[in-house]
Amino acid sequence: MASLKELRARIGSIKSTRKITSAMKMVAAAKLRRAQASAEAARPYAAAMRRMLGELAGATKGEEGGPLLLSGTGRDQVHLLVPLTSDRGLCGGFNANVHRLTELTIRRLQSEGKTVKLLPVGRRAINYFAREYSDLIIDKVMGFSGKEVPFSVASDLGDKINVLLEAGEIDVCTLVYNQFRNAMTQVPACQQLVPLVMDEAQGHAATPADADAAQYEFEPDEAALLAMLLPKNLQVQIYASLLETAAGENGARMTAMDNATRNAGRSIDSLSKVYNRTRQTNITNELIEIISGAQAV
């Protein structure tokens, strides 16, 4: 049985830990409000970009020599996976979920005879895949720090992907990240960036036979617009995913620190009961010894 001194030390240590986790929870909650607002504001813009490009792609469907970002290289052999994680831990299974989904995707593609390359974003992804799949990593991005996600991170990452595609080093590019639902729920998902994936309804041009279809006139022509907008769309989709990752990280950290604070409180209560029982036992033993000595005299 632990001594009273050891129990007091353990209780004091857990109380200090509880103060830290409680403070981290409040900081994460404050950051979450801003990150959630940014992620929710970016969703309609990213969806509108996809919808607009779907209309443009439908108008140019069947034409040869389309942009690589739209139609890809015509092959399906070399896949680039871009896992997005945080730079820091202490956020529960937030990063582990992305690692797990990325690994499952790697195994599935390799079992189909595909070549897989990795471009991890975030220190946690870089460290993890450097241990497990170092031979697949072709580049890395440290991610971001601070209160807001800079668009320059998405811009630079989009440029890297575009250069690899233009050089013929990749055929397909897919993001792996956590979609933010709420503070307690972040859903790992894959989003294919190259070739551009469109809904079936967006994949065809409007014709007079489509009674409810809108008619568009493009200025300049569709091909020029696609060449100009596709790189921007790539950056916007990456940026939206980075915002989802930032919001999910803060939500997961707030939840994890809340659980840690509650667990610390339960541990303190449990140890306090042990401390009081031990103290009472010691007092009882001392009284018995005093009474026994007095009776012996």
Positions annotated as catalytic residues are 91
Count of residues for the chain?
Answer: 297
Q: Which two tokens stand for residue 258?
A: 């809340």
Residue 216 · residue 55 · CB < 8 Å: yes
Phi–psi pair at 131, nearest 5 degrees:
-80, -40
CA distance 151 to 72: 25
Which residues are CB-contacts of 250 (< 8 A; sequence separation ≥ 6)?
A: 28, 29, 31, 32, 35, 36
Which residues are CB-contacts of 165 (< 8 A; sequence separation ≥ 6)?
A: 68, 69, 72, 73, 173, 194
CA distance 271 to 161: 54
CA distance 264 to 284: 30
CA distance 139 to 81: 11
- Using CA of residue 255, residue 237, residue 139, residue 149, what is the dihedral sign? negative
Residue 24 · residue 30 · CB < 8 Å: no
Tokens 């031979």 -> residue: 135
DSSP-derived letter for residue 184 is T
Closest CA to 186 of 49, 84, 264: 84
DSSP-derived letter for residue 203 is S
Question: Crossing angle of helices 123-132/94-111, nearest 10°?
Answer: 40
